[in-house]
Chains A and B, each alone.
Chain A
Amino acid sequence: MADARALYQEVILDHNRKPRNFGTLAHASHQADGHNPLCGDRITVMLDLDGERIAGIAFHGESCAICKASASMMTATVKGKTRGDAETLIGEFREMATGKREPDNLPHIGRLAVFAGVRDLPTRVKCAILPWHTLHAAINSLESTSTEAADDPMHAPIGDA
């Protein structure tokens, strides 16, 4: 449980308070909406793809601190990178957040390792993953995605009574 407190560290709180790339793009070439119906998190990721390169990226929506900080750091990290690089990072982030691999073994994860702690909070893993999942949908021109059912990145819906 002490791990949960550790998750709310300064980097994450700072990105929650002052999210980077928060807003909309005037000329988005791609965009997708992500929704976590279990907690109501909703975010939209907009992209300006210049060939293979992510020339612009922005996000907006309403979400918890973990989701918002994850989105903020994601946009800061993938801006200027290629689609392929972004997909690699999406894969690594997912592996880290679901506890399948240690951040030390993920060559591109870098500062995003601050989210490794979510693995110990099963109900919060999806909060951290939602922006990445939505970015994936945007890159691949899917209009919307969800953390549940067929779209579930973990194929393990969490109940909500």
Chain B
Amino acid sequence: MTALQTAMRSQPAPAIDILRIRADFPILELEVGGKPLVYLDNAASSQMPRQVIERLVTYQTTQHANINRGVHYLSETATAEYEEARRKIQRFINAREDREVIFSSGTTDAINLVAHGYGRKFIGAGDEIILTTLEHHSNIVPWQMVAEEKGAAIRVVPVDDTGELSIDAYEKLFTPRTKFVGVSHVSNALGTVNPVKRMIAFAHARGVPVLIDGAQAVPHMAIDVQDLDCDFYAFSGHKMCGPTGIGILYGKAALLERMQPYKGGGDMILSVTFEKTTYNAIPHFFEAGTPPIAAAIGLGAAVDYMSAIGMDAIAAHEHDLLDYATEQMRRMPGVRIIGTAPHKAAVLSFAIDGVHPHDVGTLLNTEGVAVRTGHHCAQPVMQRFGVPATSRASFAVYNTMSEVDALIAGIRTVQKVFT
């Protein structure tokens, strides 16, 4: 962290101008079934501000061509804009170098890149991979594929009844065969913020690299990959006001350079003959084929947008929303909050006695309130808490206290229908 960043962080976060922010998001003006849209499904995918939409239009109408190929004006412009987006993201997460920022199609793709590029090369028979109960399926299945192929084993960090990881148990899982750790920064199902910095330090003391699934963290808090000292950090554009189809894998250059290629094709090579192919350097080594150029540039604009508001201001606002919603829900008879860890971000999972989450979701929708219902691609979490599914409200910077009120009123309506 730079001295300036440190100084800025010690200041109280400035209040945000919520009306101005809401005016940036055209979709928030929608009505659903005659009711104003109350969008509380941001953990699944967030909405896009005008600034990002307009950036996509400008790119597509004045700058588009394929990158890294042509010598003509448009190709050079598109290449420059694409690389500028990479540098914006580099600064946003405070990566040391821009070549440590790899464009992927999303968090899932980024984790698969590491499982293939690092896991399949460096994990062997009898080795162990540590994951946690809180992981999204996208940070479980790629590692199961590696483990099955190599004869490695997966060890799982348990959670307590509040949804907090047992750090004691985590530390005891390490053996001389531990070769990799994968952990989410923020749980998408419960909202728990995991103590990843401490977990990384512990793993590093035993020479074990760590991947952080930051899909639910980057949209909600300032991330500094150098301060965390993580080896890999994965996240998705569409959960942070950017487009779908784009995501980021941050990796330490020294590790990325030792990995095997993920996808083969154009752009990731320097020369190809049928006898021998020489590969391009990182990040291009991991970016085979024509990437989603517009989406990458759009993600750059999303980063600009969020930075202009300020990540600390965003975090503070969302914290207020979470605290208020938690407080309201706690007072409601027949409503149980699932995930009550002391340190949470932007996610509120809940169950209503006697009502299946699917019915909750359908009925809230009739009130214009969009929540997610289901297992949230985190079935081990559902099993741990003994529920088939939960209802989940998740917040973004543009949500308001009165939207929390609409959620609470909607829950009362659901309870009334089912009495």
Question: Which residues of chain A have a CB within 8 Å of any CB of chain B?
Answer: 1-2, 4-5, 7-8, 13, 38-42, 62-66, 121, 123-124, 127, 160-161
Of the residues B355, B363, B382, B389, contact of A4 by C-beta under 8 Å: B363
Cα–Cα, bound, A13→B374 (Å): 21
Which residues of B are found within 8 Å of A38, using beta-carbon distances? 374
Of the residues A13, A42, A62, A124, contact of B362 by C-beta under 8 Å: A124
Cα–Cα, bound, A2→B31 (Å): 13
* Residue B356, interface by CB 8 Å: yes
Taking the closest CB of chain B, its distance from the CB of A71, in whole angstroms, is: 13
Which residues of B are found within 8 Å of A65, using beta-carbon distances? 355-356, 359, 418
Which residues of A are found within 8 Å of B32, using beta-carbon distances? 1
A39 lies within 8 A of B374 (CB): yes
Question: Which residues of chain B have a CB within 8 Å of any CB of chain A?
Answer: 32-35, 44-45, 355-359, 362-363, 365-366, 373-375, 377, 382, 388-389, 417-418
A127 lies within 8 A of B358 (CB): yes
Q: Known: A13-B418, A161-B44. Is A1-B359 also a contact (CB below 8 A)?
A: no
Of the residues A4, A39, A62, contact of B365 by C-beta under 8 Å: A4
Cα–Cα, bound, A42→B358 (Å): 13
A8 lies within 8 A of B417 (CB): yes
A1 lies within 8 A of B365 (CB): yes
B358 lies within 8 A of A66 (CB): yes
B362 lies within 8 A of A40 (CB): no
Of the residues B359, B366, B389, contact of A66 by C-beta under 8 Å: B359
Taking the closest CB of chain B, its distance from the CB of A76, in whole angstroms, is: 21
Cα–Cα, bound, A39→B359 (Å): 11
Which residues of A are found within 8 Å of B373, using beta-carbon distances? 39
Cα–Cα, bound, A40→B381 (Å): 13
Cα–Cα, bound, A121→B373 (Å): 14
User: Which of B35, B359, B374, B388: most chain A Cβ within 10 A?
Assistant: B359
User: Which of A2, A4, A40, A63: most chain B Cβ within 10 A?
Assistant: A40
User: Chain B residue with minimal CB distance to A2?
Assistant: B33
B417 lies within 8 A of A13 (CB): yes
